[in-house]
Structure formats: C-alpha cells, structure tokens
Amino acid sequence: MVAGSAVLTAVVLTPFALAVLRPGSLQGVSTRTWIVGGGLVLPALVLTPLLGWALVAGERMQPGRGDALRIEATGEQWRWIFRHPDAGVETQDVLHMPAGRPVEIALTSRDVIHSFWVPRLAGKLDAIPGRTTVLRFVADAPGTYEGVCAEFCGLDHAHMRFNVVVHAPQDYAAALAQAAKGLAKDAP
C-alpha cells in the first residue's frame, strides 16, 4: 500500500512540479485530457491493483476457517447467551475460549440490534435479529477480557456486559466442563 501510494504521489506531483518549474509547459494539454487521464484513467490504473492486493492480503490476515472453533452468541435484552455446539455447553454473560486458536463467533439477536465488542481482542460487530454475522479472531494470551454491547439497546443497556475468559489450550476442556456444572447447579 505504501509503495502504491508513493507511485501515485509521484505521478500527481510530476505535472505539478512541471507547472511550477516551467510555467506554460502544460498549456497544450486540454481540459478533457486532465479530467479523463487524471480523474478516471490514473485512479483506475492505480486503485484496481491496490484493491486486489488488499483483498488478498486481508483474507490472509483472517484466522484460519478450517480449524476455527465455532461459538454461537445470542444477544437479548440485557444479556448474552454463549453456546458451544461441539461441547453442548451454554453460558450466560461468560464466553470461554482457548488461547491461540482461531474462533468464529456466530452472532444473532432475539429482540433488537446489539453490538458485540471486546476491545482488547477484536473489532465490533452487530448482532441483528433474524441474521447471523460472524466475527473471527484469535486471542493470543490467557486472561479475562471485558466485553460490552456497543449499541444502545434499551433502558438497561449499560448493564449488558460480558466477560471473555481465555484459557490455556490444555485447560479449555476442563473449563467448559466446569462451566456446564455451574449451570446445572443453578437450574431449577
């Protein structure tokens, strides 16, 4: 991107330098040539390859999809429900995940638009009723990270917080089993 922008800057500054250093040297160039060449052709020649490269590079930066752990997150006023389909475990307001492994969070909502955001781990993505959006990321280090709903969703919006507990890979299965036992004790 830097190289592409440097080339574009050089191409734009060359006629500018000619106009300043040699006044009148560009008088023979028509207005139509400036508009078509500088406004259409030049951006198309420069931006098309940069867009292609950005799409390929961006896809490479995404965590791997083949080995990603899928977790379903459902927002509802005023809590998050996290479901681990592979383990058959469901938690409320606490998301468990292993460190160093790509995770896909499938987001949806039961009522209004919520926004899933864990500032220290990943960007913000909306959970929309009737749709599923997917957030992919990798947590590098074990720890507890705070997450919030970043979309005003009603009167108790400020209380719609959750924790992401990232476990060492060897401790992840035991943590999920412990979370399942904790929910069983709370069941009526």
pLDDT (tens digit per residue) in 93-121: 999 999 999 999 999 999 999 999 999 99
> Does 31 share its domain with 113?
no
> Does 116 share its domain with 156?
yes
Residue pLDDT, tens place only, 43-79? 888 888 888 988 888 777 666 566 789 999 999 988 9
Instruction: Please write down the HEC assignment for all residues of the chain.
Output: CHHHHHHHHHHHHHHHHHHHHCCCCCCCCCHHHHHHHHHHHHHHHHHHHHHHHHHHHHHHHCCCCCCCEEEEEEEECCEEEEEECCCCEEEECEEEEECCCCEEEEEEECCCCEEEECCCCCCCEEECECCCEEEEECCCCCEEEEEEECCCCCCCHHHCEEEEEEECHHHHHHHHHHHHHHHHHHCC
> Does 89 share its domain with 180?
yes
Q: Which domain holds residue 78?
A: 69-186
Domain boundary at 25, 41, 61, which? 61
